[in-house]
Amino acid sequence: MNSAALGVNYTPRAGWFHSWSDLDPSAVGEDLAQIADLGLDHVRIFPLWPLLQPNRTAISSAAVDDLLTVVDLAGQHGLDISVDLLQGHLSSYDFLPSWVSTWHRRNIFTDAEVVAAQHELARVLGGELADRPHVTGMTLGNEIGQFAVSYHPDPHPVTDAEATAWTRDLIATVDAALPGRRHHHSFDDCLWFKDDHPFTPADAVTLGASTTVHSWVFTGAGQQLGAGHPGLGLFGRYLIEVAALWQRMLDVPADRRIWLQEVGAPTPWISGEDAASFADTSIRSALRHPAVEAVTWWCSHDVSRELADFPEVEYTLGLFDEHGALKPIGEAVSRIAREQASGEGADAAPEPSAAVEPLQVDGLDPDGSNRSVLSPRGEIFTRWIEDALAGDVRPLAVGTGGTSELHAVDHNASPVIGR
């Protein structure tokens, strides 16, 4: 396996992300101690934008202090930490400040004053995090591009050029505020597969320190293959191959890395009994790709059943249950983490990039206008999975033919609740 980082997206056991409004450092410390005890080396955290910036011209010093408390607790437990900037969106819930909503409705990507406020928050947080060396960097927000997708119930429309400019400029501000770290933007897999998405594969593979990938089998792979299918554990690896294809196609430097920033085992597509083996397959297959720099599991702790109205898939994604008990999936992830740390895993070496003949993708347009041919609902994905299950994990390569035999698939009109 690749000697990449292996960590987890931190979901507080007590109160989920609502706990940011009444932070209990002792509870957070207990959670982080559990994570460190698994042998994981990093966490990603999600402070809520409305709490950090309750008014366009006011950043809450108390909320920033709470953020720093969590960052420092992670360091005390030997964990590196990545901080998300604009939250944004989490587990089907949107968290936008009141000053961009309803009577104060403003576009979060194009309104000049709103964007200026985002940059000011980035400067403040970057300055506070700068003297904490275990902070690996910041991500602009959790799948924040989903606000621009056409089927969002309350979209913030943006053109391709505006989406690129928003991302590029905010990353530049974060780079300046927190220099010498690795900063990213993140997105659900809709960016890779939805033809009219204004955030494009070019944004994914050219902006930020590396390319991030979020793997959720409920966005098409599960529907295509069926619940419990052995190929579902390879969907994360497929997305890595898709990202690598776009990097080659757009002449991105060969040393650009890929971060599998989210991957989880959602029911009913993955049963509780199969979750541990799904995690094992997902993580090991990702770590064998030589470009992968990190895998970050979603998520650390289950959502409490006392909290209402979550999609059912969200309640049982943790390595620990809602009471803090380690689950079999947590044991499976811990085994891999300890192998990584010791270098004694049976699959210590990554696969060579040209181990098998590539699967040709003919007629893919660089602007992403027919990117849906790579969708998990399409022919390329089905062929790739069949080959992978037979033992040939194939890279994807751009062919020279037309698109007459590869038809765009309907990944475009399928409303999926994002993460």
Burial class (CB in 10 A: 0-12, 13-18, 19+), 379: middle
Please give the pLDDT value at position 1: 56
Report the alpha-carbon distance of residue 192 to residue 198 in Å, rounded.
11
Please tell me the distance from the alpha carbon of residue 89 to that of residue 314, in angstroms, as a whole number: 14
More confident residue, 18 or 344: 18
Q: What is the DSSP secondary structure assignment for residue 270, as one 8-state letter?
A: S
Give the pLDDT band of residue 356 (cuts 50, 70, 90): confident
**Domain presence at residue 367:** no
Q: Is pLDDT larger for residue 418 or for residue 391?
A: 391
Q: Where are the beta strands (DSSP E) in 87-123?
A: 89-90, 93-94
Q: Is residue 355 part of a domain?
A: no
The answer to whether the pTM exceeds 0.85 is yes
The pLDDT of residue 343? 79
280 phi and psi angles, rounded to 5 deg: -60, -50
CA dihedral 306, 98, 114, 163 (to 10 degrees): 40
Give domain status of residue 398, yes or no: no
Task: Report yes or no: 66 and 20 within 8 Å, Cβ to Cβ.
Answer: yes
Strands 93-94 and 89-90: antiparallel
Please say whether the dihedral angle defined by the alpha carbons of residues 48, 96, 52 and 128, taken in this order, is positive or negative. positive
What's the pLDDT at 142? 92
- pLDDT of residue 416 exceeding 70, the answer is no
Q: Is the pLDDT of residue 408 over 80?
A: no
Angle between helices 112-129 and 160-177 (to 10 degrees): 30
In this structure, is residue 384 part of a structural domain?
no
Packing angle between helix 275-287 and helix 328-342, nearest 10 degrees? Answer: 30
Neighbours of 350 (CB within 10 A): 17
pLDDT higher than threshold 70 for residue 163: yes
Instruction: Report the number of distinct structural domains present in the chain.
Output: 1
* pLDDT of 417 over the 60 cut: no
pLDDT value at 407 more than 50: no
pLDDT in tens, 197-232: 999 999 999 999 999 999 999 999 999 999 999 999
Nearest residue to 376 via CA among 269, 261, 257: 269
Residue 163 falls inside a structural domain: yes
Q: Tell me which amino acid residue 303 is.
A: V
d(CA 15, CA 19): 5
Note whether 89 and 141 are within 8 A (CB).
Answer: yes
- What percent of the chain clears pLDDT 90, i.e. is strictly above it? 90
Q: Quick check: is 206 in a domain?
A: yes
pLDDT score, position 406: 45
Domain boundaries, position 206: 5-341
**Band of pLDDT at residue 64, cut at 50, 70 and 90:** very high
Amino acid identity, position 140: L
Cis peptide before 299 (omega within 30 of 0): yes
Classified as helix, coil or strand, 201 is: helix
Between 344 and 286, name the one with better pLDDT: 286
- Whether 413 shows a pLDDT value over 70: the answer reads no
CATH of the domain at 266: 3.20.20.80
Q: Quick check: is 405 in a domain?
A: no
Q: What is the per-residue pLDDT across 234-284, written as a single tens digit (0 to 9) for each?
A: 999 999 999 999 999 999 999 999 999 999 999 999 999 999 999 999 999
Q: DSSP 3-state assignment of 59?
A: coil
**Rg of the chain over all Cα atoms, to the nearest angstrom:** 20
In a domain, 21, yes or no: yes
Helix/strand/coil for 25: helix
Triad 320, 187, 366: Cα angle to 5°: 145
pLDDT above 80 (res 298) = yes
Inform me whether the pLDDT recorded for 348 exceeds 80. no
In the predicted structure, residue 380 carries a pLDDT above the cut 70: yes
Q: What is the pLDDT of residue 411?
A: 56
- CA–CA dist 99, 53 (Å, integer): 10
